[in-house]
Amino acid sequence: MEVVEKYKEGFKPTNNTFLNEERSKKIILILFALFFVYIIGFFIFAYNLNFKDTSPNEPTDAIIVLTGEQKRITDSIKEFANGNAKKLFISGIYKQSSLEKLIDKTINDLQKGKLLKTSKDNLKSRIFMGRAENTIENGLESANWIKRNNIESIRLMTSYYHMPRSKLIFEKYIPHIRIIEHPITFSEQKPSILSNKQLLKLTFSEYNKYILTYLWNKAGFESTFILKIQENL
């Protein structure tokens, strides 16, 4: 009997055991709360995506378009042809020959439709190209181009899901420039993010990159350090 009693006594819970259990419960609750906020944040991010140009025909010193989908470039050239900006800067990597052909085709189509307000040569002479390989480099090379050309206002054109992070990065590198958001969509109707798996995955990835960029900027670190991390998201 004495052996049994001692055996039982050996497994009596100590104060440290209770403390560890309490800490574990608190950690689990904190993690659950953070996950809940993270998920709610995604729905808020997706809901607040802007799908329309809020300032149509408002003039700016320049239009800056970030390469990606072809429609970004064609839409930016059409906007530029309206005469509401003095210069167009295409920021990003795009095969040079393909880009020049796309520019020529778009301008020729506008010319045929009598939508050009100036000559083709004049329009092309005011189109400039960059070499950025990602969104952070878009911001950096655009900031340099803006300073060299004494630009005070821009119309920023990119895909609607890409706009929040792009504007966040541009505001970091060119905080005193007036930026008009011009999100590009791929259909006349507002896309349904939750019912489209590909779009959902794309938006979720962009949400994660936005959080990472926001936190990194708030911490005051250089954004170039997060490039490799973002590439894997």
pTM for the predicted model, two decimal places: 0.82
| Angle (deg, nearest 10), helices 163-173 and 135-148 | 40
Percent residues over pLDDT 90 in the chain? 54
- Residue of higher predicted confidence among 202 and 96: 202
Residue 87 lies in a domain: yes
For 25-57, write each residue's pLDDT tens digit.
888 899 999 999 999 999 999 989 988 888 888
Residue 210 lies in a domain: no
Number of domains into which the chain is organized: 1
Q: Is residue 37 part of a domain?
A: no
Residues above pLDDT 70, as percent of the chain = 82
**pLDDT on residue 58:** 92
Nearest to 65 by CA among 46, 90, 44, 83: 90
Q: Is residue 170 part of a domain?
A: yes
User: Residue 35: in which H helix or E strand, if any?
Assistant: helix 15-47
| Cα 164 from Cα 2, distance rounded (Å) | 71
What's the start-to-end Cα distance of the chain, in Å?
A: 62
Tokens representing residue 212 in the block: 């990472």
Does 55 reside within a domain? no
CATH number at residue 152: 3.40.50.620
- Whether 223 shows a pLDDT value over 60: the answer reads no
Calculate mean pLDDT across residues 167-191: 88
